[in-house]
Amino acid sequence: MVDMKPRRRVRVSRTAICAGADLLHDPSLNKGTAFTEEERDVLGLRGLLPPRVHSQDDQVARSMENYRRKETDLGKYIHMMSLQERNETLFYRVILDHLEEMMPIIYTPTVGKACQEYGHIFRRPRGLFISLKHRGQIAEILQNWPYVDVRIIVVTDGERILGLGDLGADGMGIPVGKLSLYTACAGVHPSQTLPITLDVGTNNEGLLNDPLYIGAKERRVRGQEYDDFIDEFVHAARQVFPHALIQMEDFGNTNAFRLLKKYRDNLCTFNDDIQGTGAVALAGIHSALRITGGDLKDQTILYLGAGEAAVGIANITVSAMVAEGLTEEEAGRRQWLVDSKGLVVKSRTGLADHKLPYAHDHEQVGDFLSAIETLKPTAILGVSGQTSMFTKQVIETMSKLNERPIVFALSNPTSKSECTAEEAYTWSKGEAIFASGSPFDPVEYEGRTYVPGQGNNAYIFPGVGLGAIACEACRVTDEMFFAAAKTLANLVSEPDLEKGRVYPSLTMIREVSAAIATAVAEVAYESGIAGRKRPDDLEAYVRSQMYVPEYESYV
């Protein structure tokens, strides 16, 4: 057991000892020109700020004016990260006031480009970088974090960043971005969040040869050494932050499934790529069926891709079909995977363990189009990270087989999408029910406007996390994600469906997160895994825990 050194609690109370220039340089406390006349007197800010006091609304307007001057999305991303480093409260106010405009910048798809360029746009470190050289002292490293009451940790080893592959330590943009969404979308206080990158090396030759790469220039560690490192991290995190949920993000397929299985029953943890993606896709399918009129148990779903996302979606869909009356075997037979070698069938040798539940007795089929023609699915879901795989022939074939084909091109970022919204609507003559991982603009086709839904995990994971920490759940279960999916689907309005949208507007995201958090906490209480007494009004309590980015008075 590592000795726990004294730790300072860092919140607004720091103003008692933090004033003047130090206060202006602390993004969690800085209000910039919004400091009042009285605060300027008491806190020693006279002369350090321009004389005029501005409202937060004025500051938002100034920030957006400068934001919109940026000519590239990456430039806008850098602008927003710089704002976060100066004035955290204003950063989240800007996001909430302009959520639909901001989401593609602070997260997908722009965060993918930011991760690819991370070492070149690096300005100020965020979160903790823990490398192999820290073995034996990870608990001490975690204690260097200045905030005591951490409730959400998002951690990655950078091996499978979106659909971009191994980005090593440059993958830190993902935990940082995810936690920004926890605060913006679900109101988890920024001081309760901690992004972590576990630097176990990289096999990306470009990064190994890049003089500006920020990580260790070593090849990835595998096997027992890797497992021991992860195990030390998990135990240290539980010791230093005993109330924290650990969200695993963008680990490679082999490790992702293995680590989730290893820790899920004795740790408050989940893998968003597996469980979050599964829940958001299931919600979209439920919404799509409100348009087609069919039942989930009657659907045949074909997945392009056989990794974390595909298996995660298949797993939760099987659970939902079982709830509708099918046996687990019957439900499993309605899920089919296509990987780089073709249809995943039982006769193939060398299949990874996570594919085996969906390797059915069937003749080998070599390509995706042939699999569609053979299996006649009602829905195709792209989670392959392979661009343009939903070809015109694929969409036309789905349209011949189904009056309203369900076409979800869920790979991120936009450059990896299996097809565009315009392609799906045009090639299906306006009949496809389309959703994507990255955002697409509305599409005009033959006098009608279609609004594509974005199957963004931000609809799911912030609410799940908020619900888990609100009731202090000791575990995160599949039942919680099942409840989250049903809740999200029920929030899609009839006007949304009429436009072809299978997810609610992002402007509703805080309402969505509050509803999902309440449903998740309810599951925890019913399952006996909540760590605090159930409040009389659970929804009101959940909402009371949600941070609002407004300035507090310091005098």
> Mind telling me the catalytic residues?
107, 178
The closest of 379, 153, 164, 398 to 282, measured between CA atoms, is 379
Which residues are CB-contacts of 479 (< 8 A; sequence separation ≥ 6)? 523, 527
DSSP states along 81-146: HHHHHH-HHHHHHHHHHTHHHHHHHHSTTHHHHHHHTHHHH--S--SEEEEGGGTT-HHHHHTTSS
Element of type H or E holding 196? strand 193-199
Torsion of CA 131, 134, 139, 141, to 10 degrees: -70
Q: 439: Cβ–Cβ under 8 A, 6 or more apart, which residues? A: 103, 104, 109, 414, 452, 454, 456
362 burial level (CB within 10 Å; 0-12, 13-18, 19+): middle
**Can you read off the two tokens belonging to residue 308?**
């974390």
* Contact yes or no for 555/503 (Cβ under 8 A): no
- State the DSSP string of 355-393: GGGG-BS-----SHHHHHHHH--SEEEE-SS-TT-S-HH
DSSP state of 220: P
CB 248 within 8 A of CB 270: yes
